[in-house]
Amino acid sequence: MQCFHCAREVKETTHTPKGYRVDYYLLHTGRTEWTFLKDPKDDLLPLRYLRLTQPVDIISCADCYAKPQIKKRLEDDFNGWKSFFDEKQIEGSEKNSIPRSDHG
């Protein structure tokens, strides 16, 4: 596995008797769209949220994840202000995505 941002090879989390070392973070993101969830109680307003339509897993090494500009990009994507991806990046990332087990 390698970091999406710098392409550095990342290692699994290592555990020792006194602690652990995390080398990467797996971020679940992708294409989203705003949608509403209507509350069954008629007197409450619908809840607006971002629905994930094209999920993509992003691996960020611990060094890149600590960089303020990368955190800002991820936060802007999460809040729906600016997408982390364009269409070509999503297509390329889906090909390199970590296989998911089906929890369906």
- Whole-number Å distance between alpha carbons of 94 and 65: 20
Of residues 104 and 86, more confidence is placed in 86
Band (pLDDT 50/70/90 cuts) for residue 6 is very high
pLDDT tens-digit readout, 43-79: 778 888 888 888 888 889 999 999 999 988 878 877 7
9 is a domain residue: no
Do residues 77 and 83 make contact, with C-beta atoms less than 8 angstroms apart?
yes
Residue 82 lies in a domain: yes
6 within domain boundaries: no
Reported as a pLDDT band with limits 50, 70 and 90, residue 94 is very low
Q: Give the DSSP H/E element, type plus range, for residue 92.
A: helix 87-95
Least confident of 27-36, 38-47, 91-100: 91-100
What's the number of domains the chain is made of? 1
- Please give the model's pTM, rounded to 2 decimal places: 0.60
pLDDT at 97 over 80: no
> Is 37 within 8 Å of 50 (Cβ atoms)?
no
- Asked if the structure places residue 27 within a domain, the reply is yes
In a domain, 101, yes or no: no
Find the mean pLDDT for residues 32-45.
80
Is 51 a member of any domain? yes
* Whether 23 contacts 9, CB under 8 Å: no
Would residue 71 count as lying in a domain? yes
Which DSSP letter does residue 3 get?
-
Q: Beta partners for 21?
A: 14
Structural domain range at position 69: 18-95
Structure-token match 């960020």, residue found: 60
